Structures are given as structure tokens and as C-alpha cells.
Structure 1
Amino acid sequence: MNFGRRGLVPDTGAGSWLLPRQIGLTEALRLLFTGDPLDAERAKSVGYVLDVVEPDALPDAARALAEAAAQCSPFASARTKRLVYDGLTGDLPDHLAATRTALAECFASADHAEGVRAFLERRAPVFTGQ
């Protein structure tokens, strides 16, 4: 919907706040100003969605994505998530300091030790989140 044609700004604020962060300023402005429809392939090409799958394939695609993420260390994943989200609003020096802290925490973690052992033993790691 083109809110401008109704004399409005995007109704929830998500369009003006989240959309530029998700797909970039230029593409967000284009969508917000024109109200052009966004089909699945275009949504994927601008980064609005991660994947496009047929409706019947959605459960399997979601499961595959979840299984891939579940193979990573929850300890490291939690720190990565925090770094990425904090990086959206912080400055670079603070982000680099936070990254050094997160790396030190990971190096000292049981999950890192298990990841190295599993690599050397050529087996899948069994992470505990610690």
C-alpha cells in the first residue's frame, strides 16, 4: 500500500525504521514512496526475505535452516547475535572492543574446546552451550 497516496506515513513506524535497516535506504525509500508491490523474487533480491520456497516445501526448508543453525555452538551464537544487534547502533571502536571480549569468552568456553577437539578428531561437535 502506498501510504503517501492516502496522505499518511507508514502506519506502524516499522516501514520507516525497520525497512531501511533490512533492505537498505535506497530500496526502502523506493518501496515507501512508490508503493510498488513486492513479489517473492524481488523480496529475495533486495534482502527482505532469506529464501523463497513453494508453500509445500516450507516446513522442510525451515527445518533444514534450523538444523544448520543448531549445529553451531549456542555459546558462540548468542555472542554473535548480541554483536550483530548491538552493532546496528554502536560505533566501530565500541564494537571492536565488544568483539574482543566475545572472542575471549569463546576461547575460554567449553564449546570452543569441544569444537577444536571435534575438528581434530574429524567428528561432529557436541556443544553444551558452555
Structure 2
Amino acid sequence: MRESPLLLAVSEIGGYPNFTELYQGLGFEVITETSMRKVLKLLKKKVPTVIVAEFNYQSDFRDRTSSLESMMSVVQRHNGIRVVIFYDKEHESQLAKLQARYDISEALSFPISEEKLSAAVKLKSC
């Protein structure tokens, strides 16, 4: 029996719909984490096929734009992980700095369209 690909959903703040059913409908096993500390711990044990996470701009960070940078530094060690980011339009310029440093497959602004999200996470073989 073939194992389902793993999708890691990172929802630190939330405030948008839970897309777990959509992800499962696309054939993913879904793990949801609500803190970056737990995400980093999980990434030591498992390598997801897709990660969906929020970009929460944090102006109080001196050397980073958000906690996503910690996750992305781990993700970049693995080939082929698709990373989809949700963001607020007002933080687009800060997100651009993150995109300049890391390979982000897709960035979707709020409100999230299920059609765009589905296309962003769907595997090429689907």
C-alpha cells in the first residue's frame, strides 16, 4: 500500500478557514502545528511534501521578518518541499524579503481562495 504524502499546516495565529478537508481530499496526510517550536521539532523527524504556513510579520525582530525564517532555514536543506505561504497584503513588501532569500512555491494573500490553494498544494502527479 502506498503511503500518502505529508502536508504540514502551520497555523500560529489562524483566523481563516481550516483547510484540512481540502488537503485530505487531495490525498495528503495532514499534520497541523500551532507553534514554530513544535514545527522545528517535527521537521527533525519527518520531511513533508508540502508545508502551508502563515507569514506573520514581526517588526520587533531585529534580524528577521518572522518566525518563518527559522523554518525555512531547515526546509532549504531538503529538496522538493513545496512551501505555500498565506499573507496579509499590507505585509507584501516584507514577504518579498523572505522570498528573495528562500524558495517559496506560492504566496496567497488573504482571503484565501480554495481554488488557488488547491492548485498551489496539488502534486504534479495528481
Structure of larger gyration radius: 1
Is the TM-score greater than 0.5? no
TM-score w.r.t. structure 2 length? 0.25
Structure with the higher fraction of residues in helix conformation: 1
> Which structure ranks higher in relative contact order (CA pairs < 8 Å, sequence separation ≥ 6)?
2
Structure with the higher fraction of residues in strand conformation: 2
TM-score w.r.t. structure 1 length? 0.24
